[in-house]
């Protein structure tokens, strides 16, 4: 089976020869299954090493559920015995986790030097985790054995063989992570090979070659994996880190060279520059290498799951993330918009729907009619029939962008603009008469801001004052007080981001200021833009747009 797969990889792609092979057709797709090719996720163990990341047992159980939906074959839950939280995770997993496709794996180390595996509490804890699979980390670099582990090269091999044998005798399936393998192979290839043999001869199913320090490039990996496969005949896996920016490429190179087990983490979390992003790996293998490594249909869940895991790990999603990032299929309009409309595949390396993502069009500097039409359709307005409207909107966008506005990151302001042009008047829940903000330093404390807003809403004139630790915060509080009774929906809206740019820096603080604010109703979020010579004025404009759009989304009826 691995053999068949290897030859399939050769046919299915450009690898291993300088001759050009065309991409495989649907019919040539290799039919693999979760056993013949392992997708092994270590988000809960190695991924949790990321600086600033701390997962509760509850987080880990929730993430494990998402990984199962993604269809990975194995979920490494942590290091029982060494990390109390992980011991607890495996205990609760027995009753609280119902994995459909994934198998749970416990991670641990080989026995201590000079002791029996059976007497090593850390090894016992691996059995107590009661997982079908145990993944053992083993030293394969002579320098690490001698200087970090501080034992002999032979004792290290005995530690590996004993521990693997002990765990298999107790019915566990064992994978061995050969730590620092590539650096070790460079230092002493013969010893690195002895480690792989010690593991597999003792009963380990897979020897996972780890680029622990992440310093390898794809050619290095391919050459070493090919050599180890030829020398040992062992089933090989790949565990890559991204220190050269090549973690995904190194993993694909290992597969090209015969590895049939890949390790990674969702969103590439991990120590230093992180681990290989498992979502990018599987998308590349399925869409670029024609390997079926996930259950049918699972890949379409990738974007949703990657974002859900971001939420659980409380890490802001990376907009440039391959395949699943918010910008991954976003195109600046203008120049190519008309062509994109005719033939999107000319500008996409794959169909975003295959990974559950969407193509987005950004209204930018060179905005043209085509991009305005596409953007409007994306927002749910078909304006293609109304040439005059498109002309008016296009002109308006051009004028505003010339004045410093940008709509790329402010869809909500664009939608309000579109509605204004379409309906002939601006949607308005209140009419602002004037506002004032006073900010004062306070001896020994933070400065305080006080905002007064005068407006008309629901036929009434309202004058309110709000305080805040900043001027925009104070204006936000005043506005809420002013219209809260009339539009209780505003309680659902919250400002979550605020960005400021000076546009013509040539005149420093005399320059035009652009403010982008992001608001959420707890379900989705939207961005608006404001521009003005005065930063407070620009902020107020963006704030009013954000609240107006929010009330519109909440279905509030304008009361005049």
Tokens, residue 270: 């991990």
Q: Under DSSP, is residue 104 helix (H, G, I), strand (E, B) or coil?
A: strand
- Of residues 232 through 261, those in contact with a copy of itself by CB under 8 A are 242-250, 252-253, 256
The CA distance from 146 to 167, in Å, is 25
Q: Under DSSP, is residue 361 helix (H, G, I), strand (E, B) or coil?
A: strand
88 is an interface residue for a copy of itself by CB under 8 A: no
145 is an interface residue for a copy of itself by CB under 8 A: no
- Of residues 463 through 502, those in contact with a copy of itself by CB under 8 A are 468-473, 476, 494-502
Nearer to a copy of itself, 77 or 274 (CB): 274
Question: Could you say which of 26, 100, 147, 523 contacts a copy of itself (CB under 8 A)?
Answer: 147
264 is an interface residue for a copy of itself by CB under 8 A: no
Q: Under DSSP, is residue 293 helix (H, G, I), strand (E, B) or coil?
A: coil
Question: Could you say which of 47, 71, 218, 550 contacts a copy of itself (CB under 8 A)?
Answer: 218
| CA separation, residue 56 to residues 34, 59, 107, 461, 480 (Å) | 29, 5, 18, 51, 36
227 is an interface residue for a copy of itself by CB under 8 A: yes
- Of residues 395 through 414, those in contact with a copy of itself by CB under 8 A are 406, 408-409
Interface map 364-383 toward a copy of itself (x if CB under 8 A): -xx-----------------
Phi, psi for 529 (deg, rounded to 5): -125, 145
Do strands 525-532 and 513-520 pair parallel, antiparallel, or not at all (unpaired)? antiparallel
Residue with tokens 């979390």: 269
Nearer to a copy of itself, 125 or 389 (CB): 125
Question: Could you say which of 152, 314, 395, 560 contacts a copy of itself (CB under 8 A)?
Answer: 314
The CA distance from 514 to 504, in Å, is 10
Tokens, residue 297: 């249909």
Smallest distance, a copy of itself to C-beta of residue 551, A: 17
Smallest distance, a copy of itself to C-beta of residue 168, A: 25
The residue length of the chain stands at 560
Residue with tokens 């009330």: 551
Smallest distance, a copy of itself to C-beta of residue 27, A: 19
Segment near a copy of itself (CB under 8 A), from 112-120, 162-170, 367-375, 435-443?
A: 435-443
The residues with which 228 forms a beta bridge, in sequence order, are none
523 is an interface residue for a copy of itself by CB under 8 A: no
- Of residues 184 through 213, those in contact with a copy of itself by CB under 8 A are 185-186, 189, 213
331 is an interface residue for a copy of itself by CB under 8 A: yes
226 is an interface residue for a copy of itself by CB under 8 A: yes
Smallest distance, a copy of itself to C-beta of residue 101, A: 24
The CA distance from 2 to 199, in Å, is 19
Interface map 41-70 toward a copy of itself (x if CB under 8 A): --------xxxx-x-xxxx-----------
Question: Beta-carbon neighbour count of residue 253 at 10 Å?
Answer: 25
Q: Under DSSP, is residue 527 helix (H, G, I), strand (E, B) or coil?
A: strand
Nearer to a copy of itself, 116 or 507 (CB): 507
Question: Could you say which of 116, 272, 426, 461 contacts a copy of itself (CB under 8 A)?
Answer: 272
| CA separation, residue 183 to residues 220, 221, 226, 324 (Å) | 10, 11, 16, 32
- Of residues 111 through 140, those in contact with a copy of itself by CB under 8 A are none
Radius of gyration in angstroms for the set of CA atoms belonging to the chain, rounded to a whole number: 29
Question: Could you say which of 34, 99, 113, 330 contacts a copy of itself (CB under 8 A)?
Answer: 330
Q: At what angle do helices 153-169 and 121-128 cross, to 10 degrees?
A: 30
The CA distance from 443 to 441, in Å, is 7
Smallest distance, a copy of itself to C-beta of residue 214, A: 5
């Amino acid at each position: 089976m691995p053999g068949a797969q290897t030859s399939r990889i050769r046919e299915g792609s450009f690898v291993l020869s300088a001759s050009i092979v065309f991409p495989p057709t649907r019919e040539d797709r290799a039919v693999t299954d979760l056993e013949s090719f392992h997708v092994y996720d270590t988000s809960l163990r190695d991924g949790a090493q990321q600086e600033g990341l701390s997962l509760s047992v509850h987080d880990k159980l929730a993430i494990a559920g998402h990984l199962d939906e993604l269809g990975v074959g194995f979920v490494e839950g942590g290091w029982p015995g060494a990390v109390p939280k992980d011991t607890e995770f495996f205990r609760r997993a027995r009753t609280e986790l119902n994995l459909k496709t994934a198998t749970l794996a416990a991670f641990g180390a080989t026995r201590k030097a000079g002791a029996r595996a059976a007497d090593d509490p850390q090894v016992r804890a691996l059995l107590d985790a009661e997982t079908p699979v145990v993944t053992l980390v083993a030293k394969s670099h002579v320098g690490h054995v001698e200087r970090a582990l501080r034992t002999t090269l032979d004792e290290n091999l005995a530690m590996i063989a004993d521990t693997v044998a002990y765990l298999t005798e107790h019915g566990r399936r064992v994978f061995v992570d050969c730590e620092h393998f590539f650096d070790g192979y460079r230092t002493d290839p013969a010893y690195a090979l002895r480690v792989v043999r010690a593991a597999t001869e003792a009963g380990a199913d897979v020897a996972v070659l780890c680029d622990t320090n992440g310093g390898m490039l794809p050619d290095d990996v391919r050459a070493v994996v090919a050599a180890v496969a030829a020398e040992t005949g062992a089933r090989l896996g790949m565990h890559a880190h991204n220190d050269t920016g090549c973690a995904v490429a190194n993993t694909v190179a290992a597969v090209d060279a015969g590895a049939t087990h890949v390790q990674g983490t969702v969103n590439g979390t991990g120590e230093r520059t992180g681990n290989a992003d498992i979502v990018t790996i599987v998308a590349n293998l399925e869409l670029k290498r024609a390997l079926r490594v996930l259950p049918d249909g699972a890949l379409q869940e990738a974007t949703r799951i990657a974002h859900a895991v971001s939420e659980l790990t409380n890490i802001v999603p990376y907009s440039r993330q391959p395949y699943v990032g918010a910008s991954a299929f976003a195109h600046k309009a203008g120049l190519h918009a008309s062509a994109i409309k005719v033939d999107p595949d000319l500008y996409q390396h794959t169909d975003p729907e295959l990974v559950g993502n969407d193509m987005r069009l950004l209204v930018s500097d060179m905005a043209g009619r085509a991009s305005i039409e596409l953007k409007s359709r994306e927002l749910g307005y078909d304006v293609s029939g109304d040439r005059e409207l498109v002309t008016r909107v296009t002109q308006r966008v051009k004028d505003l962008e010339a004045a410093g506005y940008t709509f790329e990151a402010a869809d909500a302001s664009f939608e309000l603009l579109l509605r204004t042009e379409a309906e002939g008047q601006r949607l308005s829940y209140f009419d602002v008469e004037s506002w004032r903000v006073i900010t004062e330093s306070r001896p020994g404390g933070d400065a305080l801001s006080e905002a007064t807003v005068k407006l008309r809403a629901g036929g009434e004139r309202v004058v309110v004052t709000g305080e805040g630790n900043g001027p925009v915060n104070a204006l936000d509080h005043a506005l809420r007080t002013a219209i809260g009774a009339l539009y209780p929906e505003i309680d659902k809206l919250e400002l979550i981001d605020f960005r400021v740019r000076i546009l013509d820096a040539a005149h420093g603080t005399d320059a035009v200021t652009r403010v982008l604010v992001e608001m959420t109703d707890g379900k989705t979020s939207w961005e608006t833009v404001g521009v003005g010579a005065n930063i407070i004025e620009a902020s107020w404009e963006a704030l009013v747009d954000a609240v107006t759009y929010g009330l519109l989304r909440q279905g509030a009826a304008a009361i005049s």
